[in-house]
Structure 1
Amino acid sequence: MNIDNEPMTAAGVRENGFVRINAEKSYVINGPVADFTAVVGIMDNKPAIFIVEKGAGGLIPGKRLDMVGFDGAAVSGLTLDNCLISEDSVIGPFDDKSV
């Protein structure tokens, strides 16, 4: 869950059965260790959730952050730099903007 910055800044663009994602995310819980990451963003001008698998090209986990009071939590930033995922890995886009 990312509550520190605007969650809808991730952008997904359809390309031949894939979706290309570009985004910067801060304070992602389990960011450096998760097998899958759910990234909330915009696709077709509507909210969508992108499911990105660990090791996907363009998924760059940041350095694990030291969190006061959360010593056991694996928290980092994430960069998605032209990260390609299958269209099957997208939930949405949704017509309702309250997602």
Structure 2
Amino acid sequence: MNGVHDMGGMHGLGPIVHTPEEPVFFNEWEGRVFAMLVSVNGVGHFNTDEFRHAMERMHPVEYMTVSYYEHWLHATETLLQEKGTITAEELKAALAKVKEAHA
């Protein structure tokens, strides 16, 4: 494949900036996404290859404009819906609850 997700090693994108002191999670929600992935991946909802493929199917513009953990969230939501674990309506309802709680 030669998609937006295969940019590693391409020329002209500049150096990778690494800051050893940076936190593992910049925002609390990122840690929650990590925990969510570990919990659903560990019980057989999907495997690592399916997870990676779900991220690779993101629209290239979205892939380039969202954060690392947003890739994870997108893949997890996509796979749980595709596997029939959750419905789009259940996801919308859950998101509405989260937004209401943080309003």
TM-score, normalised with respect to structure 2: 0.23
Structure with the largest fraction of helix: 2
Instruction: Point out which structure has higher relative CO (alpha carbons under 8 A, 6+ apart).
Output: 1
